[in-house]
Amino acid sequence: MGEKLNGRVLLSQSITQSPEITLKHRENVFSVSFAALNYFHPERNRYLYKLEGFNKDWVPAGATRKVTYTNLDPGVYTLLVKAIDSDGDWTGQEQALRITVQPRSGAPRWHSACMHCWSSAPCYSPAALPWTGNACVSA
């Protein structure tokens, strides 16, 4: 939070307070870490994630609490994460983070039109599964 990447601050506040993040076209490689707040056998928590606009189905992450995406095309995506606690119960609604990867400046005009269509996709609001506050973006 507050750190500069490529000469700009990517997150001006905690990612737990940021329902969306905007990346430049060259920042299309990123990782997001997450955790369920379950202090009784947290090692037994299991996670599922899906990047809407990229993944068709939910991806089982097991006990891994980090997801990395590389070389995403410009567009608007929504990262969804949900957790199952040590008793096999869902910990609440999935957590959502809207991620926009901007096109190169000077991209063809048709590309801008497509971005406008994609940007009208629904935005999900944050829910019960908090982000750990770690979002890494590489250029």
Report the chain's C-alpha Rg in angstroms. Answer: 16
- Strand partners for 51: 79
pLDDT in tens, 32-53: 888 887 777 777 889 999 999 9
Is the model's pLDDT at 139 over the cut of 80?
A: no
Lowest mean pLDDT among 33-47, 50-64, 90-104: 33-47
pLDDT tens for each residue of 125-136: 333 444 444 444
Cα–Cα separations (whole angstroms), residue 128 to 53, 72, 77, 95, 104: 23, 27, 20, 7, 35
pTM over 0.85? The answer is: no
How many Cβ atoms from other residues are within 10 Å of residue 37's Cβ? 13
**Tens digit of pLDDT for each residue in 13-33?**
777 777 888 888 888 888 888
Return the pLDDT at 49: 95
Contact 77, 55 (CB under 8 A): no
CB 16 within 8 A of CB 98: no
Average pLDDT of the chain? Answer: 75
Rounded CA separation 43/45 (Å): 6
Per-residue pLDDT, 53 = 95
